[in-house]
Amino acid sequence: MTTTTQQIEESGGPLRILHEHMTGLGISQDELVENTPPPEAECVDASKVEQRLQEIAELRDEWAGAERHATDQIDRANKWLEDEAERLSYEIKWRQSSAMAWFKRDENNLGKPSRKLINGTLKKSTGRMRVIITDEESVPKDFCDHKPEKWTPNKNKIQAEIKKSGELPEGTDTEYGADEYYVDTGHGKDYRGVSVQYAEPNNDPDTDYELDETEGKSLLEWNGG
């Protein structure tokens, strides 16, 4: 009995998977049909059934073994990748800090937040502004949300007003996060490695610096002399 193309397409399980795989390899349906074994006839007795059951059990053991092998290799690959990422991140960190020490100088950044060179762009990201409520009762109602029996300051409205007018509404203040510097080489953020936070340099051309770890980021500590 010959298995037809239609039977293959309508079938499920391994036969259908085999069909899709072979088709992806560029093997024609005629070739696939020609080389597809016919379905097994009904077992004639219990002994034949036992043989099939044993074969099925062995095939499932082989399948489970293949999965264990693949999982082991995946775990090894993930561990290798984790180690490589840690090593490369460290290598990026000190090189980026070294480059940014140069860019931090006024004569090198030219008063701009970025400078493009041949092999990449040095960039500065200004620390984000954060609104602080110092006296909730004093905040004008124009910058509050009205809730039952209470006016609650809306920091988004307050921030928008500060950006628009440059003035702080009564009962509020602001603070800014540290500026961050990084090297853009055209890679995605996942490969950035680290961002760099700086203390203010003393602008001495002979300044020495050393790297330190602070919350997973590289901090450039300036030491004059």
- In a shared domain, residues 192 and 168: no
Q: Is the dihedral of CA 44, 47, 52, 55 positive or negative?
A: negative
In a domain, 193, yes or no: yes
Mean pLDDT of 12-39: 58
- In a shared domain, residues 147 and 224: no
What three-state secondary structure class fits 49? helix
Residues 161-218 pLDDT 10s: 888 888 888 888 888 877 788 888 988 777 776 555 443 433 343 433 333 333 333 3
Q: Is 70 left (phi over 0), alpha (psi -120 to 50) or beta?
A: alpha
Distance of alpha carbon 17 from alpha carbon 61, whole angstroms: 20
Scanning the structure block, which residue is given the tokens 């264990």? Answer: 68
**With contact defined as beta carbons under 8 Å apart, do 181 and 100 qualify?**
yes
What band does 4 get if pLDDT is binned at 50, 70 and 90?
low
At residue 27, does pLDDT exceed 70?
no
- In a shared domain, residues 113 and 186: yes
- In a shared domain, residues 120 and 140: no
In a domain, 66, yes or no: no
In a domain, 41, yes or no: no
Q: What total number of domains does the chain contain?
A: 3
What band does 15 get if pLDDT is binned at 50, 70 and 90?
low
The pLDDT of residue 116 is 93
CA angle (186, 189, 195) in 5-degree steps: 105
Q: For residues 9 and 51, which has the higher predicted lDDT (pLDDT)? A: 51
Q: For residues 92 and 206, which has the higher predicted lDDT (pLDDT)? A: 92
Q: For residues 130 and 66, which has the higher predicted lDDT (pLDDT)? A: 66
| Highest-scoring range by mean pLDDT, 17-26, 132-141, 200-209, 214-223 | 132-141
Residues 147-158 pLDDT 10s: 777 888 888 888
- In a shared domain, residues 211 and 192: yes
At residue 34, does pLDDT exceed 70?
no
Q: Which residues have CB under 8 Å from 94's CB, separation 6+? A: 211, 218
In a domain, 142, yes or no: yes
Distance of alpha carbon 171 from alpha carbon 139, whole angstroms: 5
At residue 80, does pLDDT exceed 90?
yes
Is the overall model pTM greater than 0.75, yes or no? no
**With contact defined as beta carbons under 8 Å apart, do 203 and 104 qualify?**
no
In a domain, 214, yes or no: yes
Range of the domain at 107: 89-126+178-225
Residues 93-135 pLDDT 10s: 889 889 989 998 999 988 899 999 999 999 988 778 888 888 8
What band does 21 get if pLDDT is binned at 50, 70 and 90?
low
- In a shared domain, residues 12 and 113: no
In a domain, 182, yes or no: yes
**With contact defined as beta carbons under 8 Å apart, do 183 and 204 qualify?**
no
- In a shared domain, residues 101 and 136: no
Distance of alpha carbon 207 from alpha carbon 140, whole angstroms: 48
**With contact defined as beta carbons under 8 Å apart, do 104 and 198 qualify?**
yes
